[in-house]
Amino acid sequence: MSGGSGRVTGRIIQFGTSRFLQAHVGVFVHEARVSGEDVGPIAVVQASNSTGRAGRVEAFGRPEGYPVLIRGIENGVKIDRRVDVLSVDRGLSAVRDWDDLSDCFATEADFVVSNMGDTGYEIADGDRGVALLSGEVPESFPGKLTALLHRRWRDGARPLTVLPCELVHRNGRILEDKVLALAADAGAPSAFAEWIAKEIIFAETLVDRIVSQPLEPIGAIAEPYALWAIKRDRGLSAPCVHPAIVLADELESFERLKLHILNLGHTVLADIWLSEGRSPNETVREILSDAAVAERLDHILQHEVLPGFAVQGMEAEARGYIATTLDRFRNPFLDHRISDIAQNHAVKVDRRIVAFLKWIAERGHAPATPKLDAFKAR
């Protein structure tokens, strides 16, 4: 059961209702469609089992679309524009609409996009074993994806490209490994695994855009800067052509700059915010208006982070990215709340700060990093 054929639709299934994806993939596809590309539409899926976002799910697919306000400074020019995103035609709840989702996934989708957060690849115990392919709704995102792929393989086996957007190193490879492990645990035929290896592209990607505020019931406020870097692979094509979408031979340089400068900087600020019990509604811009906080962050970036990139041969790239990052942090239009950044703080410290220290230590002669070393001792 391989090599199935079918009409290429351009349909994208997006797992995750977050404001980030609304202002990232949704906007890119919308602008590509406006320019005349035959791409999309997008079906947005609430993948969690929570019922707290039912109103958001219902709002997707409204004929008037949803607003994204792009605000900031780009190349010295003030940007303040509104995009009414019309690329999404439906919202689905994986729990409530599993049959509809399964049908759409099996017959319409050409691309899958996901952004399930820092713990999104964790596998629920209930998803291990033969019950995974029983027809019931799996609990975890990897479990859901495995079951949906199995249905697609069973019903026609058309190729598919999966573009995970989680900030996880080698995200495509890790997600593919989890799907294959779950399939094996469930007793799926070996032909299913062979089909995945041959026909399903699990791309490695990196995303970068600060999306600071949600709009209700859907929509967002975002900065002008945006990047979706996708690692080249055999047979891979991007969902659309857009200035923010880059196909690259390697992603590590993009990943290290974002993870260990922008994201590390956010986590340092969140740590200060948590440890000092600062205002619950304080934003990134507001906390940096405190000269003492700004000096602490600048010291870490210039005297601990930049020398670390230098030992990796990336000093020039890091110096420029630090300057861009500090401008983005001080964007006068965005109210990026520290409370949002501080979610899953321990996980972020490990991935953004501790991982940076390990990375530069691998090269030997690592610079002194006393302020960052303090995070390892917690």
Residue 16 lies in a domain: yes
CATH code for the domain of 301: 1.10.1040.10
Rounded Cα distance, 104 and 15, in Å: 13
Is residue 304 predicted with pLDDT exceeding 90? yes
Residue 4 lies in a domain: no
Is residue 118 predicted with pLDDT exceeding 80? no
- Indicate whether 131 and 83 sit together in one domain: yes
Residue 5 lies in a domain: no
Residue 65 lies in a domain: yes
Percent of the chain's residues with pLDDT above 70? 96
Q: How confident is the model at residue 3 (pLDDT cuts 50, 70, 90)?
A: very low
Q: Which of 210, 232, 250 is the last residue of a domain?
A: 250
Is residue 7 predicted with pLDDT exceeding 70? no
Count of the separate structural domains present in the chain = 2
pLDDT of residue 51: 64
- Indicate whether 238 and 263 sit together in one domain: no
Q: Are strands 211-214 and 205-208 parallel, antiparallel or unpaired?
A: unpaired
Q: How confident is the model at residue 53 (pLDDT cuts 50, 70, 90)?
A: low
CATH code for the domain of 121: 3.40.50.720
Query: Higher model confidence: residue 54 or residue 264?
Result: 264
- Indicate whether 238 and 260 sit together in one domain: no
- Indicate whether 185 and 42 sit together in one domain: yes
Q: Which of 223, 250, 277 is the last residue of a domain?
A: 250
Q: Which of 250, 283, 312 is the last residue of a domain?
A: 250
Residue 151 lies in a domain: yes
- Indicate whether 200 and 335 sit together in one domain: no
pTM for this predicted structure: 0.84
Q: How confident is the model at residue 73 (pLDDT cuts 50, 70, 90)?
A: confident
For residue 120, the enclosing domain spans 11-250
pLDDT tens digits, one per residue of 321-343: 999 899 999 999 988 999 999 99
Residue 61 lies in a domain: yes
Residue 35 lies in a domain: yes
For range 351-355, the mean pLDDT: 95
pLDDT of residue 8: 56
43 has which bridge partners? 13, 90
Q: How confident is the model at residue 357 (pLDDT cuts 50, 70, 90)?
A: very high
For range 264-280, the mean pLDDT: 98
Residue 3 lies in a domain: no
Provide the Cα torsion 131, 136, 139, 143; round to 10°: 60
For range 253-275, the mean pLDDT: 96
- Indicate whether 271 and 164 sit together in one domain: no
Rounded Cα distance, 131 and 377, in Å: 42
Query: Higher model confidence: residue 76 or residue 23?
Result: 23
Is residue 38 predicted with pLDDT exceeding 80? yes
- Could you give the angle at the alpha carbon of 219 between the alpha carbons of 217 and 223, nearest 5°? 150
- Indicate whether 150 and 231 sit together in one domain: yes
pLDDT tens digits, one per residue of 89-117: 999 999 999 999 999 999 999 999 999 98
pLDDT tens digits, one per residue of 8-30: 578 999 999 999 999 999 999 99
- Indicate whether 104 and 209 sit together in one domain: yes
Rounded Cα distance, 167 and 341, in Å: 14
For range 172-199, the mean pLDDT: 96
pLDDT of residue 2: 37
Is residue 254 predicted with pLDDT exceeding 80? yes
- Indicate whether 342 and 260 sit together in one domain: yes
Is residue 315 predicted with pLDDT exceeding 60? yes
What is the rounded average pLDDT for all residues in the chain? 93
- Indicate whether 64 and 189 sit together in one domain: yes
pLDDT of residue 52: 63
Is residue 156 predicted with pLDDT exceeding 90? no
pLDDT of residue 12: 98
Count Cβ atoms below 10 Å from residue 50 Cβ, excluding itself: 10
- Indicate whether 110 and 236 sit together in one domain: yes
- Indicate whether 207 and 320 sit together in one domain: no
Is residue 59 predicted with pLDDT exceeding 90? yes
